[in-house]
Amino acid sequence: MKILVAYYSMYGHIHRMAGAVAEGAGQVEGAGVKVCRVPETLPEEVIEKMGAKESQKAMAHVPVCTVEDLVEADAVIFGTPTRFGNMCGQMRQFLDSTGQLWVKGSLVGKVGSVFVSSNTQHGGQESTILSFHITLLHHGMVIVGLPYAFEGQMRMDEITGGSPYGASTIAGARGERTPSENELAAARYQGRHVAEIASKLAK
């Protein structure tokens, strides 16, 4: 059983969450996990002006996704930062390149799931995940979220991401906040949950 974690990360927050998602998925017996980044669309000089050059270097070892990676996977867990309540442009462009997969029905019946980040506590995390689901539904994927069985999303003692739609993290207005342990636990739970569902479907 193959689990793909496909993400885009500008400053490393989603990169960190992707690692936790992969860790959780890897806890399921028989699950092989691959982590990859969707292709960058911004010129290097723009990335430098945005102050993301060093964080991009730190992620350079992660292989770049191809549409074939989606075909080979039994489940795909997508990670994206929020851009005005939607997925980032890099992820949108990658998904827009999957038209031939749609024509062939290559993703029908595969598990799809989403995790996100935003700068602020109410920065469009839920709308990003829900609007992302539209594309997955067009591909015929079976959507899996983050159930309330993960009790960490019920916490009231700290500011935290996470909803029944998927794990999430709050980056801070200047990207100064790193994913909390509760947010990473949510990501691990989601990864494991998706792998378990994929395993049941495979049987």
Domains in the chain, start-ordered, CATH in brackets?
A: 2-202 (3.40.50.360)
Residue 31 pLDDT > 90: yes
The answer to whether 177 is annotated as binding is no
The answer to whether 14 is annotated as binding is yes
Residue 203 pLDDT > 90: no
What pTM, to 2 d.p., does this model score?
0.97
Nearest to 119 by CA among 172, 76, 166: 172
Residue 105 pLDDT > 90: yes
Q: Coil, strand, or helix at residue 74?
A: coil
The answer to whether 193 is annotated as binding is no
The answer to whether 148 is annotated as binding is no
Contact 21, 190 (CB under 8 A): yes
